[in-house]
Chains A and B, each alone.
Chain A
Amino acid sequence: GENVEQHPSTLSVQEGDSAVIKCTYSDSASNYFPWYKQELGKGPQLIIDIRSNVGEKKDQRIAVTLNKTAKHFSLHITETQPEDSAVYFCAASDQTGANNLFFGTGTRLTVIP
């Protein structure tokens, strides 16, 4: 099955700086890559996703890039704010005909005011 690796496990940045989280996946047939933000005591919240026919997608301060050849994708957060502090998970879809997500191990982002 799909194996997703995520780095770094923790990341601290100063408010206003950028944050980058990277993921790699193993199944070249995967073609859907969502990112989730999980705040303490809450469920994962979908913040952005990308499909394999697109190399980059942007939504305000958040962007995701995908390199299918290298099998890696990244989350970029610009102008970070304290409310961006959370655990971020990348995921890749299962391609067995279902829609099951395989998650990375998470990155705890701390934005220092």
Chain B
Amino acid sequence: DSGVTQTPKHLITATGQRVTLRCSPRSGDLSVYWYQQSLDQGLQFLIQYYNGEERAKGNILERFSAQQFPDLHSELNLSSLELGDSALYFCASSVEASGNGEQYFGPGTRLTVT
């Protein structure tokens, strides 16, 4: 167990809908990262937050957004969902914002868009 928690574990929704995925980092970690894992794209970095502030953006679609709250948990919002958004979404946390800190992954949320 990495200490990173994610809810829900599974999510099934229809195209055009909006969902929110939640992540709680390990105790003491200030940085949260979101990754998408799909069969054809592998593990792709989406976005990073550090202590409430957006730190870096990767291949995140404009339909997706995230935030990190004062208690350091983070939410990833996915809107206008398309079939291609079906994937595993992982969050990871680390103590540091940069400098190659170790990242620990949560168990993921499996999103199915029908």
Contact = CB atoms under 8 A, between A and B. Distances in A.
A98 B102 contact: no
A106 B99 CA distance: 24
By CB atoms of chain A within 10 A, which of B56, B97, B100 has the most? B100
B43 A99 contact: no
Contacts of A93: 100
Contacts of A106: 42-43
A44 B90 contact: yes
Interface residues of B, number: 27
Interface of B: 2, 4, 31, 33, 42-45, 48, 55-56, 58, 90, 94, 96-108
Contact of B56 (A42, A43, A89, A98): A98
A46 interface: yes
Interface in A37-74: 42-46, 49, 51
